Amino acid sequence: MALPKRVWFTLHETAARWGCNIADIAGWADAGHFCIFTGVTPIRSGAEIVAGKVVLASIELLPLFRRCGTGPSEGLIRRVQPYGREEWLIITEPEGGIMVAIVDMMISAAEVQRFEHAYNIFDRGSEGAGLSEEGDYDWAAMNIEITRRVFEDGLPASQNEMIRELQDWFAARSEDGSFPDESSIRRRLKPILDALKFKRPKR
């Protein structure tokens, strides 16, 4: 049974998906292309209590997004924007704000997909590897990717590792981050691995 579609992506997942740096993502968020959000436990802004998803201002966390990678992994925020609202709220409690980590920052899957379509990141018109016109995954493209992988990098350490790599490959090229289940890939992978007499990589 297929799992539901992805709801959000972390910044690191998005950077890997797009082949860019998180500094680029922070810049695009600051330019208004999409929102970076996180989740918070109840905090107070004056008389109002805010909890759940809140938008972050990436420019206020700039040291976290140093392109050279020397920045800290978390930063202090003193204001948030409740998700879906326009106004920014100053955090009055806890006094002085709250800490937020890069690993806890997200972008909604809908905004990731909209950005990918707007800038044709994966050039899906010529090399899409998600669902084909027949409504199935592009298994022919997967076979090409397997050939490239084996030719350039050799076989992975195990069949399970190859299946995970292929799931990541499908997810990075699909419109919604979806990928085939393990059994579907394993069924199509078996004849190839049998032909290669796959047991374990040669040392």
| Boundary-marking domain end, from 112, 145, 179 | 112
What are 1-53's pLDDT values in tens digits? 456 778 999 999 898 888 889 999 999 999 999 999 999 999 999 999 999 99
Output Rg (C-alpha) for the chain, integer angstroms: 21
**pLDDT the model gives residue 79:** 97
Would 95 be classed as within a structural domain?
A: yes
Mean pLDDT score of the chain:
85
As a whole number, mean pLDDT of residues 66-88 equals: 93
Shared domain for 34 and 100, answered yes or no, is yes
Instruction: State if pTM tops 0.85.
Output: no
Would 44 be classed as within a structural domain?
A: yes
Shared domain for 133 and 101, answered yes or no, is no
Integer Cα distance of 183 and 118 in angstroms: 33
pLDDT band at 198 (very low <50, low <70, confident <90, very high): low
**What is the domain extent for residue 167?**
128-195
Would 147 be classed as within a structural domain?
A: yes
Q: Which residue did the predictor score with more confidence, 24 or 137?
A: 24
What are 122-131's pLDDT values in tens digits? 654 434 455 5
Helix axes 159-173, 139-153, angle to 10 degrees: 120
The token duo for 167 is: 């799931």
